[in-house]
Structure 1
Amino acid sequence: MGTHGMILFGHGARDARWQEPFQRLAAKLGAARGNAGPVSLAFLELMTPSLPDAIDAQIAGGCTAITVIPVFFGQGGHVRRDLPALIDACQARHPGVTLRCAGAVGEDDAVLDAVVQFCLRNDAD
């Protein structure tokens, strides 16, 4: 049985500091998953690795299943159009690997609840 990897997929930015919270998220997720499989980052543009490169790397490392988690706040054009096209192209290149894509993290009620709690902690009375 192969390994199940996870890839956190973000937009990317020109400023390298933009990815710092994503790196922290990947480290926390990796620690929470333990030995369940690798966690890595990938970006749509302006940063590396690209999603195809991250998928290739996880497959080269022995993953036979990969879940892509879009760390976008909502389902904009990148998540609705660009990401499915990338997943389809990667799936065509790796037909023996199971690629799954979750919804955008910001669409999950638990994430929204966490943002509400953050806002309340920072509410100046």
Structure 2
Amino acid sequence: MNSLILVAHGSRVESSNKEIISLVEKIKNKNKNNKLSISYAFLELAEPTIEESIKTQIKKGSKKIIILPYFLAQGKHVKTDIPNEINKLKNIYNNVDFVLLEHLGANDMIIDLILSIVDV
């Protein structure tokens, strides 16, 4: 089984965290490939943490974990914090294939999304 973990910043404002949870539920509902287990994690200020979410996916039998940083810009969290956390976990779970994708804002599809929102 493969897993996708959407990693968001996390917030002290619970409604912000619930938006991420809701988004992941919508992604799960659209996922036609039941072989992909989809979950979320927060970098800070909320749970589950990246490590907790990865442990959960491994317990479910995941052999490949794809991490998508849900960030629009490449700040310290995207450049340093998330890769460091993933590298630490790679050393612990060396029988699992970890794939760290570029942050959401680096994907050119975001341009089309923005233009479709403003209907240009």
TM-score (norm 1): 0.88
- Structure 1 runs of 4+ with >4 Å offset: none
CA distance in 2, matches of 1:64, 1:76: 29
- Residue 111 of structure 1: CA displacement? 1.7
**CA distance, structure 2, for counterparts of residue 21 and residue 116 of structure 1:** 22
How many residue pairs end up in the alignment? 119
3-state DSSP class of the match of 2:113? helix
1:7 matched to 2:5:
yes
What is the SS of the residue equivalent to 1:23? Answer: helix
- How far apart are the structure 2 equivalents of 1:78 and 1:27? 24
Unaligned runs of 5+ in 1: none
- Aligned match of 1:58: 57
Identity rate, percent = 28
TM-score by length of 2: 0.92
Residue identity in the other structure for 2:14: A
One-letter code aligned to 1:30: K
Q: CA RMSD in A?
A: 1.5
Further displaced range: 18-27 or 59-68: 18-27
Q: Give unpaired runs (5+ residues) of structure 2.
A: none
Q: Which structure: larger Rg? A: 1
Q: Which amino acid aligns with 1:50?
A: T
